[in-house]
Every structure is written in structure tokens, then in C-alpha cells.
Amino acid sequence: MQIKKLILLIPFLLLVSLSKNSLAGLGCYGKGGCYDLVSTGSTGTLTTNRVYAGLKWTLNEGIKPQAVFGFRHARTESNGNTNGGDISISAKIIDGFQLGKLRAKYFDGKEKVQGEVGGGFDFTKGLFAGVGVHAPYSLIGLDLHPFINGNKLEPYIQIDSIKKYKKNHNSLVCSPSGLDQFGAYQYGAYINDTCDSANTQP
């Protein structure tokens, strides 16, 4: 039994370790915190890899929350369209430790709000499927447990460290737009998806 418990703890411990290492070693990026690694694609798409933590309350399971640790990969286009994948694990940490759910999901939407669909394994109830809606720092969701007796639907709410995704407005640079009155090339840059030569430098 001890070996079995250790095996079940491995995913949880890995995510906790990844979260701590990210906070300690990645530094802070932008104004919002220390969780994000952001790269810019050749077409103006921002790719964000984010380690996050949160608290989750499930209906009819009392007021004591479960802890949630996860990793989220997102791609945000210049028009705000956002999609990606998420993997997380939850656990009860108050009045003893007990693993909750190992979950994988796909999300799609805009930079502020995304719809989610996924599923995974509940360590006490077995396989489940779920849907949800995520906004900055918050999530509301509904899980379906098809293989248990009694109430198969499980609504929940979650607060977490996932903020709004950033859009990339200034990643593309215009080609020379001609000569100015002094015989020098004028350059433009994409501002809000349009080329504006008046607000840029050569």
C-alpha cells in the first residue's frame, strides 16, 4: 500500500516542484507576475507557457477548498483569439492529504475568456469528463462522473493565478515606405494591426 501511495503522489509532487522552480528561476516577465514564459511567433502570435496554482470549491463538499497545481500552454493571436491545453492535479490539504483529480483539457476563446472541455481521473470516483468557462483568476466548471451511483454531476468554482492573456500588436515591422523630405527612408510599424509610419523610428 505504501508503494501505491507513493506512485499516486508522483504527479502531484512534480507539479509542485515545477511551480516552485518556475517562481525561483524564471524571474518576472511584464507587469503581471513571475509565472509566464512568452515567445513571439513569426505571424504575431504570442505563445505563453504558464505554471499556476489555485483553490477549488466543489458543491456539497463543504467550505474547505482543494489545492490545484497546473501547467497551461496558450497561443494568442493579434485579434485576441486564444486556444491551448491545460494539465492539472488537485488535492485535499486540510485535515489530511488526499489526491483529488488529474485533469487534462483543451480551451478556446478570446484573451479574457475561454471555454474549456476535458476529462481525467478522479482518485476516488474514477474517470470523468468536464466543461468550464475561465476568466482572469477564476473558473466555473461542471464535471460528469458516468460510472458512479447517485449524483453524477459535480459543479465547482476555482480561483487561480491565471491572468488575462496578452495580444501582440507590435511584433510586425513595415518595410521602408519611401523617402522623407531629407532623403532618408521612412519606416512604419504595426500599431493595433495597422501600419503607422508616424509613430516609429528607422
Give me 84's grid cell.
491551448
Per-domain boundaries in the chain: 2-160, 172-202
Nearest 10 degrees: Cα torsion 56, 26, 49, 155: 0
- C-alpha 96/C-alpha 26 separation (Å) is 32
pLDDT on residue 168: 80
Strands 98-109 and 114-122: antiparallel
The alpha carbon of 28 is separated from its chain's Cα centroid by a whole number of angstroms, namely 17
Report the phi/psi class of residue 171: left, alpha or beta, with left for phi > 0 and alpha for psi in -120 to 50.
Answer: alpha
Q: Residue 29 gets which letter from DSSP?
A: -
Give the number of other CB atoms < 10 A from CB of residue 111. Answer: 18
Do 68 and 57 touch, CB atoms closer than 8 A? Answer: no
What three-state secondary structure class fits 19?
helix
- C-alpha 10/C-alpha 118 separation (Å) is 22
- Tens-digit pLDDT string for the chain (202 aa): 444 444 444 445 445 444 444 433 333 334 333 345 666 554 679 999 999 999 999 998 889 999 999 999 999 999 999 999 999 999 999 999 999 999 999 999 999 999 999 999 999 999 999 999 999 999 999 999 999 998 899 999 999 999 999 988 654 444 444 444 444 434 444 444 444 444 434 4
User: Which amino acid belongs to residue 80?
Assistant: G
pLDDT on residue 86: 98
pLDDT on residue 64: 94
pLDDT on residue 118: 98
Among 76, 64, 83, 86, which Cα is nearest to 15's? 86
Give me the residue label for grid cell 495597422: 194
- C-alpha 202/C-alpha 187 separation (Å) is 5
pLDDT on residue 44: 78
pLDDT on residue 170: 57
Do 37 and 18 touch, CB atoms closer than 8 A? Answer: no
